[in-house]
Amino acid sequence: MAVRNSGVINITFPQTLTSIGIDSFSDCLYLEEINIPENSALTSIGIGAFRGCMRLKKISSFSNSYRVMTGALFTYNLVSLVLFPPASDVTSFSLPGDTRFINEGAFLSCTNLISIFIPSDSISYISTSAFESCTSLTWINIPICVTGVGANAFKGCSKLNCGIKVENTSKLFLENLFTNAKLSKQSVKNCIGNIITRNCLFYTNIFSSSLLMIQVMIIM
């Protein structure tokens, strides 16, 4: 089933539908609501299935494979966060402790989100473009349980200034945040000397190795 780049506004998937392919509903600019009905056979949603659906505001699911919590679509066991609707009115979001993966593009262009909390001992991997273009995001924590962050995960998070707490301060992990995940170096520079801001990143250039080291400072 695919209606890519169509004018559809609301979708209720057929009960017999088993999978939604990659980019199936991408760029449906008028899509506002999707519904997975009771007894749905749906067990697979492809990467980018709803990419670019900027008006998507509501997701509902009554199936045994997917569930909705705080507006976000998860696999039923909560292990994977599949999609957060870009037009949701939710401004602060806390992930469940059972969630281990944030799927590719899960929060892409969620422009109303201001803060996101990731519990300790939960997420192990933040996928490609997970928070890309979250232009209102001002605070997020990355606990030690996060062992990997995908490409462009923080690209375009223009307001993430002094609002990121990183527990893994290894050189390799921090380099990846800048070079691969596209966490803005300028955002980190803006933190220097700001003794009021909490959970603020400070950086030092190591010219001999061209590495960036970050000291995470929490002003209590």
Tell me, yes or no, whether 90 and 105 share the same domain: yes
Tell me, yes or no, whether 84 and 168 share the same domain: yes
Number of domains into which the chain is organized: 2
Of 63, 146, 157, the residue nearest 102 (C-alpha): 146
Residues of the chain with pLDDT under 70: 1-2, 5, 186-220
Phi, psi of 173 (to 5 degrees): -65, -45
Phi, psi of 192 (to 5 degrees): -60, 125
Distance CA 129, CA 45 (A): 17
Tell me, yes or no, whether 96 and 163 share the same domain: yes
Question: Domain range for residue 19?
Answer: 1-64
Each residue's pLDDT tens digit, 11-22: 999 999 999 999
Each residue's pLDDT tens digit, 174-218: 899 999 999 887 655 555 443 323 344 433 333 233 333 333 433
Tell me, yes or no, whether 32 and 91 share the same domain: no
Tell me, yes or no, whether 45 and 86 share the same domain: no
Distance CA 11, CA 200 (A): 42
Tell me, yes or no, whether 47 and 78 share the same domain: no
Q: 14, 48, 64: which is the final residue of a domain?
A: 64
Distance CA 25, CA 50 (A): 5
Distance CA 203, CA 71 (A): 36
Distance CA 48, CA 121 (A): 27
The CATH number given to whatever domain includes residue 94 is 3.80.10
